[in-house]
Structure formats: structure tokens, C-alpha cells
Structure 1
Amino acid sequence: MKFPLLTIVAALTALSPASVAAFSPSHHATTIKLYDISNTSWGISSRTPVRISATTTSKAPTSLYISALETLADMTILSIDSGDIDTVSSYAKTGLITDATTNPLFVSQAAANGDVRYEAMVSDAVSYAKRVTCTEGGCPVPEETLNVAMDKLAVNLGRELVNLVPGRVSTEVDIRLSYDTQRSVERARSIIGMYKECGVPSNRILIKLAGTWEGVQAARILEAEGIQCNITLVFSFLQAAASAQAKAYLISPFPGRILDWHKKQSGTAGYSPDADPGVLAVKRMYAYFRKFGYNTICMPASWRPSRGSEVLGSDVDEILALAGVDEMTIPPSLLNSLSILESTNVVRKVEPMGAAASCNDPDFKLTEESYAAYWKTDVCGQEKLKEGIDAFTVETEKLIKILIDKF
């Protein structure tokens, strides 16, 4: 009988002694992995397995179910794509999730949630914005006050997530500034300042910027100042190369949306996961980074079923096809799918040396002019980037309306 990962963790936590042994799916069958589940801090070190010989632990349980999620976490850093505090907390306690990512949709949902915890975040954001931008005579620049409130709400949500995960939390700069480098830089600095006021150091935060040329250049400036950035809405090798050359800490390519575009263009109902255009695009980006020694992390997000939604188990096709990539950000629904899938379904598909050897791209240095010339030919990148920015702009405008009502 198979049980979801979280159910197993909850059951094991109640056992004594607290250290529970289980066969490691990512090593030989004679290797056993011990997790100290009594460690409530759930730092990265608590996931580090202790390797011991099976011959010395003949009484260790051999039938404990090992999930695909656990095996994947052994080869790829996992981030949860959610702004729901309870959900993030539940997965963080497994020790398998180290980071968290947010976006304008999550912040908008938090503002409209109705839960007293989120309401407190909203009230605090409004009070903060009034305090720093308004005078006794009122708020001289209402737009500025609303922008401060919006950023403060994102920081309040991020602060809660920082307390749950041991790694980094991504917080997005106003998506409406995606084509304005200087204003994006200013807002990013302000967000980092707000985090510091809350006692959250900048090395726990990634500033998310859209993958426009202007957004990438904002990342170049911020990275030089020690503010690490996540370039999101990446649909193109060109965007990835520009981000790496700007020394962005991390990129978030969207294989699922790349697949959507290709399916629409070709009329193809589905692909083998290893032939999925989105998977191939991410592998190309990763290979370029590894061949030319760029430190930029490749963290794919936004997943689709390669073979089509009607195929059982296809919801995690792209995730399994990219097993071994630096990092992934995965929504709770797909984390659950992985937690009830057997570990034998996970096989490393991406590794640094092999990827570097497979790279056929030159390390061409991009300028604004050459980027623009290449970008004109990248129809998938153009269409999907515009679509992503437009969608997040709608969520941002919803959030602004909610904040106006709160004022």
C-alpha cells in the first residue's frame, strides 16, 4: 500500500526513536539513509543522509515506501511555488523543500484571502505605506503610496515564508516596470530595504525580474551590488544567455508554456517527455551555462503534461524529464503527485559534464543591438513573454484595487 509523503512523515514523527532508517533510492540497495526527523529547524543539513552499510542494520525496515519526490530531492534542489503559509509549512517540514517562490498572483490572493493572518499582513502594509509616504495633509502622490503598500505586502508574505524554508524566497518587482531598468532597480532596492527592516538578510531573498532586456540589465546592476536576482518568464535561449552574461543568480524558464506554444503551432497533441520542446529548451540553457562556466542556476517552473493531460501520470512528465537540473520550483499539486509516485520513476536526465559536452552553442556576447536583432526572430519568446507580463499585470491591478479599498 502506498501513502502520500506527508502522511508518512506525520506518522514517523510520532515514533520513538526519532531517527528512522529507510533504503535510499538514489544509491545502491546496500545503502541506507537516515533522517533525524526530530530536528524541527529543518535546515538543509537535516536532509544530509548518513550512509552506513546495510549489513550493520539488518533490522532496518525494508518495505518503507520511498517516493519520487524524495528521490528527486536527492539530485535537484526543490522550491515550492506557493504563497499559502500552511501549504508551504507542511512541505517544508518534510525537509525536501528548501526554497519558496512567489509572484503577483500569490500576493493578490493573500490580499483577498480573508484569513486573519493575511489580513494582518495587508493592514500592516497599508499602515507602513501611510507612515513613509503620507503627511498630516494626506498622501501627496497616491500612486507612490499604493506601490509602497504593494511591495510591503509582498515583503510581509515573503517574511513568513523565510521563517518556514531554510533557503531563499523570491519576491517580484512590480511587473509593470518590466521595460524600465532604472525604476526596477529602485523598487528592488526598496524591497530589500523593507526586508532588512524586518530582520531578513538580503542573502535569503531573490529579486524576481521579468526576462526582458531591461529586466536583465536591472539584474546586472543589482547583482553588482550584492542583490541576487531571479530572471523569470524565460521562454528563450536568448533570454537565458543574456541573463547568464549579466551574472543573474538564477533563471526561471517555463518549459510548460514553451510546450503550449509549440503544440499550438504544430497541432501536435503531445510529445514524448524527452522530445518535449520545453524540456529541450531548458536542457539547452543548462548546457550553455555548464559549458562556459556561468554560475547562473537553472530553475525551471510552470509545468505541463508532455504526453497530454489524458495520459495517466503525465502531469509530472516534464519534471521527471529534467531530473538532475540545478533546481525546480513546483506547485503543491505536482509535489503531491510526486509524493505518491514510486522512486523508481526518477532517473537522472541532466548532469553537468554530459550537458556541457552536448552544448553546440557559441558563447556569443550580447549587446542591446544584437539582442534586439535576434529577439525579432524569436516568435515563441516574444509571444509568451508578452502573455506572461500581461497576465501578471492583471493580477497586480487586482491587488491595487484591493489596497485602495483597504485605504
Structure 2
Amino acid sequence: MLVFALSAALAGARPTAGRASPRMLAVSDTSQLAQLAGMTVLSIDSGNLDVVREYAHTGFITDATTNPLFVSQAGLSGDAVYAAMVDEAVAYAQVRASGDEAVSLAMDRLAVNLGLQISKLVRGYVSTEVDVRLSFDVEQSLARARRIIAMYEEAGVPRSRILIKLAGTWEGMLTAEQLQREGIDVNITLVFAFIQAVVAAQRGARLISPFPGRVLDWHKARGAGPTFAPAEDPGVVLCSQIYAYYKKHAHATICMPASWRPSRGSAPEFAIDEIVALAGSDRMTIPPALLQQLAASEDPLQRVLEPKAAAAACTIDALGDGKVDEALFRSMMAADGCGPDKLAEGIKAFVADTERLDAAIRAKFEK
């Protein structure tokens, strides 16, 4: 039996780094969390250092993902630990740049500061996102990604431990292709359409993050459902198709679903429906509240996705003769419906988070 402290600051709560956790949660090696970790590499989706530490100590979590929301929450929380990260980022930028460039450098530095702390807590990948406002600018995205990696390496964290997160735009795919040539691994995020997954793999991205829960949201908003058997959930179907396509066509790109919803309705016990239906995925990134639910359950967990069986069942030939061009990508995205809608929505939300942090950093420079 593994026992670890579970912080009250779960997903969406204010970070509480450095403070004692108020209660304990026992996690057995027969829990659903342990069972899932035996078939899928698990990442924690959080920027809260206390929570990341606690789940990493179970031995079931190897990686961590962050996004602009987590960086913004850390930067604006007022907690002394995170405030120190902000102050260091501002001081770092002030002596190296001025004006808008200093602000962007401080924001990158803050993301790296958070990532550096997380890298001490998990043994695998740490994801750090390029400013989402650059999702349609290849050259600027390349410059920011290289700068982020350089700061990690200056701090002693090798690039092999970092995933640079880029939005699943056409420009994001081109950026990923160049970064992968330079030995910088990329996580293509905000994936809602099959064609995004195909192009990401063809361009050599190390990993993609499809969002089954948001795909389900899109379909339900258009009259589907209102509930689904988990295997028929549109987000689960998409992730299963991607997994099978990758196995059939021997793509090395990792499929790591993120963002979860209950397939069968709002009852608490349905919250992990999509996770259970995708058990066996290469990787998953899961927020603390759902990790807690998995840790609390001893129900048997069956493997659903298996490489050989998935490859054998896949009937989709390689698209674009192995290299989808821009015209086909944009055409298939437009035809998908969910893809462009949710990609635009996701970018817009992340931009809002980024701009709140931008304003706070600018205020620091003005003092």
C-alpha cells in the first residue's frame, strides 16, 4: 500500500506550494490508478507543485503537462513560492531585453521556472507551451521554442526531458517538423480532428494531445447524445482511430489524450468514462481530481487499446500518400467541423489566459 498526502488544492484551486497537505489518501497497487499505470504511461495535468509532488511519489505518475492557464495561475496566485518565480523571471528579462521583448522573455522564463520545479518532481517529460498567440507564426514560434529549450539546458535540464507544446495549426505542424530536426521534441496540442493527428505524425511530432472531452462537448452542443456508451463517445472514437492509425502505419508519434468528460451523464461515477474506455493508450494526461477518483477505486480495469489488435482493425490507408500538403489539411479540417471550431475556441481561451499574465508581467516592469 502506498500512502501519500493529497493537497486540498486540486484542479482549479489556487496553488499552495510548500504548505502541508490536510489529508491522506491511500493508493493500493490494485487501485484503478495502479492498473491504468500498468498499461498506459500517466502524466499529471497540473501546475500545482504540491499536487504534482504528491502524485509523483505514488510511482504511478511519470510526466507532467502545463499550459498557459497553469502558468497564469502560478504567476497571479500571490503565493510566495510562485511570486519568487515571477520576480526572478522579471529580473532575468530586465537585464537582457527591453519593451515588448522583455515582457515575452519574462513570460517564457516564468514558464521555464515552473517547468524546472516540476522536472524535479517527475522523472519523465515536462511539457512547456510556446506563447499560443504565435500559433500562426512559424518563425516566431521557432525562436521562442529554441529560447525555452536554451533556458532549460542552461539550468541543467536536457532537451530530452522537455516537450515543447504547439497548437495543432498548419503552422504548428511546420514548426514541429523543424524543431524535431533539431532534436527538440514537440507536443502538438488542441487536437480535435483526425487530420491534425495524421499531419502531426507525418511531420515527426513526438507526441499529440487529442481532447476527447471537448470533442464530446462539440457533438452534444449540436444535438448528439445527450449521453453515450463510452465506446461510442465521439471523443473516444476519435482517439481510438488515431491510436489504430498510428499502429497500422508504424508512426512513432505518441497519442496522449487529455481533457476528459463523462460519457454517460453527470453522475460522479461517470467522470472517468473516457479514461476507462481508452485504457491502453500510449499515454494519458489526467487532472488531479480524476487521478483521485482512479486511486479510490478497486474495480477491475480492462485494457481496451492494444497495438497489434488496433493495427489489424484499422482500415484507413495512409493519407496524402504519406505526406499531406497544406491544401488537403485545410480542406479536411474544414470538412471535419469539430476540428476548426474547437481549435479556434481553444486558442482563444489560452490567449485570454496568456494576456492576463502578460498584463501582470507588464505591471511588474512598470513599478
The Cα offsets for residues 204-245 of structure 1, whole Å up to 9 and x where unpaired, read as 100000000100110000001100000000001000000000
Amino acid at match of 1:398: R
Measured after TM superposition, the shift of residue 66 of structure 1 is: 2.1
Measured after TM superposition, the shift of residue 82 of structure 1 is: 0.2
> Where does structure 1 differ by over 4 angstroms across 4 or more consecutive aligned residues?
none
Amino acid at match of 1:292: H
Measured after TM superposition, the shift of residue 201 of structure 1 is: 0.7
Counting only pairs closer than 5 Å after superposition, residues 30-45 of structure 1 correspond to structure 2 as: none
Counting only pairs closer than 5 Å after superposition, residues 264-343 of structure 1 correspond to structure 2 as: 264-309=221-266, 311-343=267-299
Cα RMSD (Å) of the superposition? 1.2
Q: 1:304 touches 1:318 (CA, 8 Å); kept in 2? A: yes
Amino acid at match of 2:290: L
- Using the alignment, how far apart are the partners of 2:140 and 2:315 within structure 1? 37
- Using the alignment, how far apart are the partners of 1:82 and 1:264 within structure 2? 27
Choose the corresponding residue for 1:124, options 69, 73, 88: 88
Amino acid at match of 1:405: A
Indicate the residue corresponding to 2:43 in structure 1.
79
2:101 equivalent to 1:107: no
- Using the alignment, how far apart are the partners of 1:185 and 1:92 within structure 2? 31
Measured after TM superposition, the shift of residue 267 of structure 1 is: 4.1
The Cα offsets for residues 349-404 of structure 1, whole Å up to 9 and x where unpaired, read as 00101111111111023011221222221210010000000000000000011111
Deviates more, 1:222-231 or 1:260-269: 260-269
Indicate the residue corresponding to 2:169 in structure 1.
212
Counting only pairs closer than 5 Å after superposition, residues 215-294 of structure 1 correspond to structure 2 as: 215-294=172-251
Amino acid at match of 1:350: L
Measured after TM superposition, the shift of residue 10 of structure 1 is: 4.2
Indicate the residue corresponding to 1:381 in structure 2.
339
- Using the alignment, how far apart are the partners of 1:230 and 1:358 within structure 2? 26
- Using the alignment, how far apart are the partners of 1:202 and 1:295 within structure 2? 18
The Cα offsets for residues 11-48 of structure 1, whole Å up to 9 and x where unpaired, read as 9xxxxxxxxxxxxxxxxxxxxxxxxxxxxxxxxxxxxx
Q: 1:184 touches 1:218 (CA, 8 Å); kept in 2? A: yes
Instruction: Determine helix, strand or coil for the equivalent of 1:350.
Output: coil
Q: 2:177 touches 2:204 (CA, 8 Å); kept in 1? A: yes
C-alpha change, 1:92 and 1:209, in structure 2 (3 Å) is same
Indicate the residue corresponding to 1:403 in structure 2.
361
Counting only pairs closer than 5 Å after superposition, residues 90-105 of structure 1 correspond to structure 2 as: 90-105=54-69
2:328 equivalent to 1:370: yes
Measured after TM superposition, the shift of residue 261 of structure 1 is: 0.6
Instruction: Determine helix, strand or coil for the equivalent of 2:228.
Output: coil
- Using the alignment, how far apart are the partners of 1:312 and 1:105 within structure 2? 25
Indicate the residue corresponding to 1:360 in structure 2.
315
Q: 1:71 touches 1:343 (CA, 8 Å); kept in 2? A: no
C-alpha change, 1:275 and 1:152, in structure 2 (3 Å) is same
- Using the alignment, how far apart are the partners of 1:305 and 1:232 within structure 2? 21
Instruction: Determine helix, strand or coil for the equivalent of 2:335.
Output: coil
- Using the alignment, how far apart are the partners of 2:177 and 2:163 within structure 1? 13
- Using the alignment, how far apart are the partners of 2:53 and 2:4 within structure 1? 13
Measured after TM superposition, the shift of residue 279 of structure 1 is: 0.2
Q: 2:263 touches 2:270 (CA, 8 Å); kept in 1? A: yes
Instruction: Determine helix, strand or coil for the equivalent of 2:3.
Output: helix
- Using the alignment, how far apart are the partners of 2:117 and 2:328 within structure 1? 42
- Using the alignment, how far apart are the partners of 1:271 and 1:86 within structure 2? 35
Q: 1:67 touches 1:341 (CA, 8 Å); kept in 2? A: yes
The Cα offsets for residues 306-344 of structure 1, whole Å up to 9 and x where unpaired, read as 0011x3410000000000000000000000010111141
Q: 2:29 touches 2:35 (CA, 8 Å); kept in 1? A: no
Counting only pairs closer than 5 Å after superposition, residues 51-62 of structure 1 correspond to structure 2 as: none
For structure 2, the 5+ residue unaligned runs are 6-27
2:304 equivalent to 1:349: yes
Indicate the residue corresponding to 2:123 in structure 1.
166
TM-score by length of 2: 0.91
Q: 2:89 touches 2:106 (CA, 8 Å); kept in 1? A: yes
The Cα offsets for residues 63-114 of structure 1, whole Å up to 9 and x where unpaired, read as x672100100000000000000000000000010000000000000000111
C-alpha change, 1:112 and 1:80, in structure 2 (3 Å) is same
Deviates more, 1:375-384 or 1:313-322: 375-384
TM-score by length of 1: 0.82
Measured after TM superposition, the shift of residue 122 of structure 1 is: 0.2
Tell me the percent identity: 54
2:110 equivalent to 1:153: yes
Counting only pairs closer than 5 Å after superposition, residues 131-142 of structure 1 correspond to structure 2 as: 131-133=95-97, 139=98, 142=99
- Using the alignment, how far apart are the partners of 2:305 and 2:46 within structure 1? 25
Deviates more, 1:151-160 or 1:370-379: 370-379
Amino acid at match of 1:257: R
Instruction: Determine helix, strand or coil for the equivalent of 1:325.
Output: coil
Measured after TM superposition, the shift of residue 198 of structure 1 is: 1.1
Q: 2:4 touches 2:57 (CA, 8 Å); kept in 1? A: no
Deviates more, 1:113-122 or 1:380-389: 113-122
Choose the corresponding residue for 1:9, options 3, 7, 21: 3
Amino acid at match of 1:348: R
Instruction: Determine helix, strand or coil for the equivalent of 1:132.
Output: coil
